[in-house]
Amino acid sequence: MARTIAKDHEKKRLAILRTAARFFATHGFDRSSMNQLAIACGVSKALIYHYYDSKDALLYDIVHTHLSDLLKTVRAADDNQMDPEENLRAIIHAILDAYRDADAEHQVQTEAMTSLPAEQREVLADLQRKIVHIVANALAAVTPDLYTRHPERLRPVTMTLFGMVNWFYMWHRPGKGISRSDYANLVTDMVLRGVIGLA
């Protein structure tokens, strides 16, 4: 007889994911133990192992959930019927807003993903490629002639954009200085004026 899944199974799993992401971001994935994590989560180690059979499995779920959610967000924001500049702005706003409550998950993704087996890294890399592809297409739509003449420039410009938004969590402090929304506009304006200047 199959074991019945508790009604709060998913809620507990997500709570473990969020706490684990913060714990790994603060203490480092390699230096963290399941015993320490259980204490941080306020649950038994046995409960964590009920959901995840290893620390690597937990790490994979953190990053996979984060990137899957981000891909959904970027796809929802992307609208090629919009003015290309405003579409790019909407996507950048969506990415930074998605990072609002996921700075720890993003940090774990950038710092610990290499700890995973190659086949799992490839799944996660495919999610990243899909996100980058959407943003690259939105960038190309702003100045299509530029990238027709110089297609080799599209990836560097796209990755520069991600560099500006991906490290926001490193220096931004909520309530101090520029807001997340204002920074999204700043990044968009810098990219747009720079891209137009290149053209």
Q: Residue 113's pLDDT is what?
A: 87
Q: Residue 7's pLDDT is what?
A: 59
Burial of residue 51 (CB within 10 Å: 0-12, 13-18, 19+) is middle
DSSP state of 30: T
**Unique residue bearing structure tokens 């997500």:** 14
Q: Residue 3's pLDDT is what?
A: 45
What does the domain layout of the chain look like in residue ranges? 54-198
DSSP state of 54: S
Question: Of all helices (H) and strands (E), which one includes residue 158?
Answer: helix 154-166
> 73-107 burial, b for 16+ CB within 10 Å, e for fewer?
bbeebbeeebebbebbbbbbbbbbebbeebbbbbb
CA–centroid distance for 149 within its chain: 31
* Cα gap 157→64, rounded to integer Å: 25
- In Å, how far are 49, 90, 101, 142, 192 from 145, measured between CA atoms? 54, 22, 37, 9, 14
Tens digit of pLDDT at every position of the chain (199 positions): 444 455 576 888 888 999 999 999 999 999 999 999 999 988 999 999 999 999 999 999 999 999 999 999 999 999 989 999 999 999 999 999 998 888 889 889 988 888 999 999 999 999 999 999 999 999 999 999 989 999 999 999 999 999 999 888 888 887 888 888 999 999 999 898 875 665 5
Q: 54-198: CATH homologous superfamily?
A: Tetracycline Repressor, domain 2 (1.10.357.10)
Residue 47: beta bridge partners? none
Q: What is the pTM of this model?
A: 0.87
Q: Residue 195's pLDDT is what?
A: 59
**CB-based contact 139:82 (threshold 8 Å):** no
Looking at every residue in the chain, the average pLDDT score rounds to 89
Q: Residue 139's pLDDT is what?
A: 95
* Cα gap 193→199, rounded to integer Å: 10
